[in-house]
Amino acid sequence: MRKPALSHLSPAGEADMVDVSAKAATQRVAVAEGRIVMRAETLRLALSGDAKKGDVFGAARIAGIMAAKKTHELIPLCHPLLLTKVSVHFEADAALPGILVRARAKTLGQTGVEMEALTAVSIACLTLYDMLKAVDRAMRIEAVRLTEKTGGKSGAWTSDAGAPKDPPPA
């Protein structure tokens, strides 16, 4: 069985930043999501706005946006991108109980913004954890994944097109 080629490895197997200079600049969008599972009381506290550290959603939104802008500083072979838009949204889910976090990143450029969207979700979830850990250290961050991307030579992709579905909540 032939191994698929990895774009970030040189022929000698060394880490290598992909050369995107010959690629056309196109509008590129990526959406990622993840969730943080917590006790029902913790979710109620977050939603009430009475957490000891303040506005948990405001802090997590800003942290996610800032993280997307710094993705190239955190992940060694990512290109620095001129992001034209990053948004982070939260949806309470009493059935988990927890919070679904979605991020959307957009650019006009030669490479995709998947890592920026994934980084935004990850850091937003970590910030929610930090803001609420005083009352619930057992929170779990899970199911961080890309859900869609558009732009570039490979075109549009959505998780509905064959990606594994989220496992049921534990």
Q: Which residues are catalytic?
A: 130
Coil vs helix vs strand at 23: coil
Please list, in sequence order, all residues whose beta carbon lies within 8 angstroms of the beta carbon of residue 117, skipping any fewer than 6 positions away: 30, 31, 32, 68, 103, 104, 105, 146
Between CA 159 and CA 44 the distance in angstroms is 30
Query: Which residue type does 23 have?
Result: K
What phi, psi does 143 have (nearest 5°)? 60, 35
Instruction: Identify which of 159, 75, 154 has the alpha carbon closest to the alpha carbon of residue 120.
Output: 75
CA atoms within 13 A on the CB side of 5: 6
